[in-house]
A and B are shown apart, each in its own frame.
Chain A
Amino acid sequence: MTAAELRRASAQQLRDAYKAGSATAVELLAALYAAIDREDAQLGAWLYLRREEAQAEALAADTRYAAARAEGPAALAALPPLLGIPVALKDLVNLINTPTTAGSRILEGYVSPYDATIATRLKAAGAILLGKTNMDEFAMGSSTEFSAYKKTVNPWARDRVPGGSSGGSAAAVAAFHAPLSIGTDTGGSIRQPASLTGLVGMKPTYGRVSRYGIVAFASSLDQVGPFARTAHDAALLLHAISGRDAHDATSSTEPLDAQLLNLPAGDAAAAGIKGRRFALPKEYFVAGMEPGVEQAVREAVRALEAAGALVEEVSLPATEHALATYYIVAPAEASANLARFDGIRYGASGHGEGNLLDGYLATRGRGFGPEVRRRIMLGTYALSAGYYDAYYVKAQKVRTLIAQDFERVWAAGFDAIVAPTSPQVAWRFGAKMADPISMYLSDACTLPANMAGLPGVSIPCGLSEGLPVGLQLIGRPWSEASLLTIAAGYEALTATAAWRSVEPHDLAALSGGAT
């Protein structure tokens, strides 16, 4: 394969090529780092590259493939599914002896002494960990503009945001710098950037993936999940990171779904759509939704119906309160989770001048950016004596109502909810920076699933104004394999659609022509 083919290959294709001996992980790695070297000055997806360790991991993978090929098909089949597959990590995943910034100045220079559980699992699965990607500071934002380090652009349009907060992980996969990446989703931070960059991005059921070693934003909402260019690839990565972890008391003992490694493809996948029942929630077609987005989503719904699916409109009445309650619960938890950044043990410190309080004020006043400070203040206020019942306690009650809305849908026998992921395509830099509420509203369709702990996936469903539009599928708890099966079915149904063959428009421009 040529370098251009290698970087565009899916994880599945890479695995087949490695097994056949028609490609090596070392070649692939060279192609990816070459692309990063050429393009990242423009793209801004990466915060840290793990060149030497990645090279060693690629060599080790190639050695294992070669040995297994010599041994025979059984040995090849026994190799772990992610062996030799590069993965990018959002820079809030702790990797031992590697910087972790969470996009914040307050962690500048911090080198983590331990591996997150998902890092341990990815290493054990033979994945090549390429490096760390840019993000909104502490995952607070929807455009990656709140990174303290750099601007990440959307490969589809350099003057537009990639979405956020996992914008670096999305841009890296969309720009073919990595076949797979890891993001986190607290209110839509995987699904929304996947939608804005034309990727598959999944937030698993709360508890499916360990949060140990993931810098926390809002503990009861955060989930780790995959970005990929296909449903099959997303399933592969999800399978590798899922499962009970003794280090995370909120991780579930729910067994892994082996179907993740055997999603149907082609006609079989398309045929699987027949007879599925989908709920279309009217509240998700919010005011301010762009007509082009609504059109693409409704066309996708018609395509599902044409393939034999039954789609019915439903009402999820608590949806209108989701945004307000989210902005109580998430900042409240964040205000405590971020208290540890006190300049005493690690990271930037303002202690030494004045008394202890002066040190805290200097550390946190300088270390945190505006959005993080805003949310810490919101959360501190909501938890304060005299306000706790009116805000936090009430928000938890509304959260229960949101969950009950979804439960009624499952009780009515629907397989999944179909909805838009983002009411808009990627917007221009700065468009929402002056107005926090307009930025918050961009997550209106994604955060209800976080509030209810449900799995959700965004899949590409067309273009509007030449920019990607995402279709969101939300399922009942632990239904990730089912959601990705539906996603694979939709991919098969639309395999020949014109928009599928369009590559990100500004890919060539990122390096001045060469790809």
Chain B
Amino acid sequence: MSWKAVIGIEIHVQLRTQTKMFCACAIPAEGDEPNTKTCPTCLGLPGALPTPNRAAIEKVLAVGSAIGAKAPATTRWDRKNYFYPDLPKGYQISQLDLPLAEHGKIEVTTSTGTRTVGIRRAHLEEDTARLRHEKARDGARSSLVDYNRSGVALLEIVTEPDIRDGETARRYAEELRLLLRTIGAADAEMENGQMRVEANVSIRASEDAPFGTRVEVKNMNSFRAVERAIAFEITRQAEVLDAGGTLTQESRGWDEGSGTTYTMRAKEDSHDYRYFPEPDLPPLAIDPAWLAAIVATLPELPHARRARYVAELALSEYDAAVLVGEPAAAGLFEAARAALPSLDAKILANWVSGEYLRVARDRVVTIDAAQFAALVAAVAAKEISGTTGKALFEEMAAGPLDIRQVITSRGLSQISDGAALEALAAETLAAHPQALADWRAGKQQAIGFLVGQSMKASKGRGDAAQLGEILRRLLEAAG
């Protein structure tokens, strides 16, 4: 039969802060020696106390405001009690019934239209330590604990069960990541665990039927994995039910290689975490003036920016999404426009999404927006050729470059003078008799070849469009 899926997403994101959530320890970096970013508080030593990180709270309030959530008049912290070697105090400081944000939403665009995903709540908590299980040469097993990550600020965001398919879940996770990066609340790199996505998936016969047995899907380490794992899980559950079987409430892991989910652990009776208010931290009043000041510093949010690019700058929906999808790209676009307001937005957008994003995908680049604007303007004005422009962009990505100075000193200005181009084309044609032969044999590509050779001879300075017309004329005359 045809089943309807119900999906809720829980995301844990490491906030971008200078220090941990409840102590002054620095945030560990890749390659740190184990247990070097620790102190009595994040090691849970006897007598140590937590002190809240104000910047982390402000980031969550900013996120809450960006998703239209409500902040409580007063928030507080709660202890979630359980024993595990990665949890030094024997409890995690979290937030139970007064989260920093409640009742928000995020709109996402899917291949079948726009969907609204309700956000039930977003709250702050502290990360645990990392365990490393080792086997010594004598076969003895040992478990090592690295407390560097213990106490790092985590934002947990829980959606309503509003999602109906894997694609929407993926788009939601992507849009949330973009929002967090735009606000500067998090880097949210999924590959290195800064953003962890878990999905609760169940199916039912119809939209008004009660929810089915819920399965928690974990270990999805990319956005693509989120979409695939959920799609797989929906199919799997449907097959079980169609075959007359029953589903068990459990946690399942996504196996990227086989493209399947597998049982991690059956859900025992739900764990009693014995939550109670954290007595080491007083309740925190959210002063409306404080909240207003945080909201005032919010940048333009992705959905608003996309809409503006389409409505005011006449960019296509696709171009707007590509630009806004990478905060650094949108930043360069905005800064270049500010530096040179007369620049054509569409041309500039093409340069940012073409050249800049191509380079920025592989490495960290810092581009001077004013120089970038000057470069695009020079190409747009046909002062330099597109080929020269791209070469200069490569140089710009490697280090500072003064575009005006370079064009003049290196004599890079485009050759648009008709007579000079005629001579160049004639020389090229004379040097490549085979091309003429090809042309005569009906091979249209000969023109492309000759344009390329002419450009090469001019060291990229020739006007490729004009050269094409001249060469066609010369060939037709010769043919």
Q: Which A residues fall within an 8 A CB radius of B? A: 92-94, 100, 102, 107, 110, 112-114, 116, 211-216, 218-220, 246-250, 332-333, 335-336, 338-342, 344-346, 356, 360, 380, 383-385, 388, 392
Contacts and interface: CB of A to CB of B under 8 A. Distances in A.
B47 A345 contact: no
Ordered nearest first, which 10 A-B pairs have the shortest CB separation?
A: A339-B90, A219-B279, A383-B274, A220-B279, A213-B47, A215-B46, A340-B44, A385-B272, A94-B47, A340-B89
A249 B49 contact: yes
B48 interface: yes
B91 interface: yes
B90 A356 contact: no
Interface stretch (B79-87, B112-120, B207-215, B351-359): B79-87
A212 B40 CA distance: 10
Given A249-B282, A339-B83, A356-B85, A213 B276 contact: no
A338 B47 CA distance: 11
B145 to A, nearest CB: 7
Interface of B: 40, 43-52, 79, 81, 83, 85, 88-91, 145, 272, 274-276, 279-282
B282 A345 contact: no
A448 B279 CA distance: 18
A336 B90 contact: yes
Contacts of B89: 336, 339-340
B272 A384 contact: yes
A333 B279 contact: yes
A212 B276 contact: no
B81 A219 contact: no
Contact of A102 (B46, B50, B276): B46
A110 B52 CA distance: 28
A136 to B, nearest CB: 16
B21 to A, nearest CB: 12
Contacts of A112: 45-47
A340 B150 CA distance: 14
B407 to A, nearest CB: 57
Given A336-B79, A360-B83, A384-B272, A92 B88 contact: no
A218 B79 CA distance: 14
Nearest to A357: B83
Contact of B50 (A114, A249, A342, A356): A249
B65 to A, nearest CB: 25
Given A247-B51, A341-B46, A345-B145, 7 more contacts: A112-B45, A113-B40, A213-B40, A216-B47, A250-B279, A250-B281, A340-B44
B206 to A, nearest CB: 33
B46 A340 contact: yes
A344 B85 contact: yes
A100 B45 CA distance: 11
A340 B274 CA distance: 15
Nearest to A351: B85
Contacts of B83: 339, 342, 360
Contacts of A246: 51
B280 A249 contact: yes
A384 B85 CA distance: 22
A110 B279 contact: no
Contacts of B49: 211-212, 247-249
A336 B276 contact: yes
A358 to B, nearest CB: 12
B40 A114 contact: yes
B153 to A, nearest CB: 16
Given A212-B47, A250-B281, A384 B274 contact: yes
12 contacts: A110-B46, A113-B40, A211-B47, A212-B48, A218-B279, A220-B279, A249-B51, A250-B279, A333-B276, A340-B90, A385-B272, A392-B276
Contacts of B276: 332-333, 336, 383, 388, 392
A215 B282 CA distance: 19
B81 A383 contact: yes
B88 A345 contact: yes
Given A250-B280, A336-B276, A116 B47 contact: yes
A113 B274 contact: no
Contacts of B281: 249-250
Contacts of B282: 249-250
A219 B44 CA distance: 15
Nearest to A383: B274
A247 B41 CA distance: 10
A100 B279 contact: no
